């Protein structure tokens, strides 16, 4: 009886953690998290924060639509994400004052540098889902 209660408690915790992770993946939650991070680093005014949130929300919503579009290949999705995110950066810069723009660009450069070093240090490995495709020689989406 005691082990049954422990099993049920563990299952409940697992299910609740999965639900909370799924909720984190909404455009609204991503926009909020991104805006909070930018606001903290750049000390945004409440007016700037509201504008940055709207920019992030619009971009994250667009990116979510692209991600769910089954008609697009992975390369087309990647290109769309890149275009959307470049537009986001320019829109955010338009909201910032010159000092904040400088800090924003420096932080973005550091982020890109870190991403690039991580990309170069880790060999790319096919996921288990890609292995049958690679063996059959079928083109990847």
Q: Is residue 79 a part of any domain in this protein?
A: yes
Percent of the chain having pLDDT more than 90?
60
Query: What is the pTM (predicted TM-score) of this model?
Result: 0.67
Q: Is residue 115 a part of any domain in this protein?
A: no
Q: List, for residues 79-131, the tens digit of each pLDDT value.
A: 999 999 999 999 999 999 999 999 999 999 998 898 888 888 866 666 666 55
Which secondary structure element, helix H or strand E, spans residue 71, and what is its range? none
Range of the domain at 98: 27-107
Look at residue 56 in the predicted model and tell me its pLDDT.
97
Contact 78, 12 (CB under 8 A): no
Q: How confident is the model at residue 24 (pLDDT cuts 50, 70, 90)?
A: low
Q: Is residue 50 a part of any domain in this protein?
A: yes
Q: Is residue 97 a part of any domain in this protein?
A: yes
Query: Quick one: angle between helices 74-95 and 98-121, nearest 10?
Result: 150
Q: Is residue 113 a part of any domain in this protein?
A: no
Looking at the 3D structure of the chain, how many domains does it have? 1
For CA atoms 44, 49, 55, 56, the dihedral sign is: positive
């Amino acid at each position: 009886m005691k082990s049954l209660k422990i099993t049920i408690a563990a299952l409940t915790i697992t299910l609740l953690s999965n639900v909370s992770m799924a909720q984190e993946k909404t455009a609204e939650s991503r926009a909020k998290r991104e805006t909070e991070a930018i606001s903290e680093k750049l000390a945004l005014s409440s007016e700037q924060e509201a504008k940055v949130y709207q920019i992030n929300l619009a971009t994250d919503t667009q990116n979510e639509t692209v991600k769910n579009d089954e008609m697009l290949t992975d390369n087309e999705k990647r290109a769309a994400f890149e275009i959307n995110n470049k537009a986001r950066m320019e829109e955010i810069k338009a909201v910032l004052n010159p000092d904040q723009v400088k800090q924003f660009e420096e932080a973005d450069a550091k982020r890109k540098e870190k991403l690039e070093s991580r990309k170069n240090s880790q060999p790319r490995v096919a996921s288990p889902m890609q292995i049958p495709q690679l063996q059959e020689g079928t083109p990847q989406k």
